[in-house]
Structure 1
């Protein structure tokens, strides 16, 4: 049972490592696409990015292999040491088993990444996923720009007509409400000065909201 849990845990760790590697590759490809297509005006072509996707995966495989080699050195130093640890990476004999597991996990990730780097279909999938991410980013930027532009009064064809209606509403409705409210408050203050508690306005009755002037 314990061995089965270890296998499951190892499989999960490897899967997470591959997921992170794929996400990093998509991000790298997305950034290059934005440069090539938007800045340099190139057309999108899957074959154009195969070499770059392969290179990104191989670079990550080399990093995983380097991590495995580093873990192996730490494991060898930790063997036979039984004193108290001085820090997070100051390993002891009791850590040897976990270090060996980490080494195997890193090597497993590296092998899988190298296999994917030689799989044309896997490369194509990464490239198309990166294209979708790049397109979504561009679409959001365009939408945000259009919203900002649409909010400009000089680009709104109905701005002048609606501005007249808003000003008329201000003169006929908002300003009289404001004047009435101020008179009511002044009257309440005058009554309180005479020791008379004024009648409280009903909620919402002739109450002016400054936001209405916007």
Structure 2
């Protein structure tokens, strides 16, 4: 019984991590991509929906294992693959179905718990902020780096110079030519 409870708790922990990731991504999309302000309460319904969706997924997994168990019962031949279950697998399949159902039940309970939802959104917000912070930090290090701080400066210098000649200077020349033509056309019209 203890092992089943541990398996359920582990499944819940994994599901909570998945829900936190889903909420974190929603926070990043809504606050950065859509330029919205962070409103803690706006993400509570999404957190609840994430937990309920994960609970439904666990229920479907439980039902699939029950179906596999029914097919395996009474079959005593050698299996033809990993998921080709036999009668000797019935006991483990029953345990697995109960564990999936247990995780689903726990997740449904957590989805109704206001404190859990608050904590989930807060943890997701912290994770989102950490992602933004890391990205800004990397960007600032790259933008502010001086040649003598970059150990790969000499190695990459030739590639950067070639890109400057082949891409940047060509683009600059093309843009300058277009602006010159536009000025000439404007002065002819005026």
TM-score normalized with structure 2 length: 0.75
Name the SS for the 2:31 alignment partner. Answer: helix
Question: Higher helix share goes to which structure?
Answer: 2
Alignment of 1:7-156 (within 5 A): 7-152=1-146
Give how far 1:152 is off.
4.6
Partners in 2 of 1:104 and 1:143 — Cα distance? 46
| Residues in 1 aligned to 2:71 and 2:29: alpha-carbon distance in whole angstroms | 46
Q: Deviations over 1:118-139 (max 9, x none)?
A: 1111000000000000001101
How far off is 1:84 after superposition? 1.1
TM-superposed deviation, 1:85: 1.1
Distance 1:152 1:132 in 2: 32
Structure with the bigger RCO (C-alpha within 8 Å, sep 6+) is 2
Deviation at 1:42, TM superposition (A): 1.5
Q: Structure 1: state its 5+ residue gaps.
A: 1-6, 154-214
Q: What is the deviation of 1:8?
A: 2.2
Q: Whose radius of gyration is greater, 1 or 2?
A: 1
Alignment of 1:166-185 (within 5 A): none
CA root-mean-square deviation? 1.1
> Structure 2: how far apart are the matches of 1:83 and 1:23?
40
Partners in 2 of 1:42 and 1:116 — Cα distance? 28
The count of aligned residue pairs is: 147
* Structure 1 match to 2:152: none
SS in 1 for 2:15: helix
Rounded to whole Å, the distance in 2 between the matches of 1:88 and 1:38 is 44
- Shift in Å at residue 151 of structure 1? 1.0
| Alpha-carbon separation, structure 2, partners of 1:29 and 1:145 | 25
The correspondence of residues 181-196 of structure 1 with structure 2, limited to 5 A, is: none
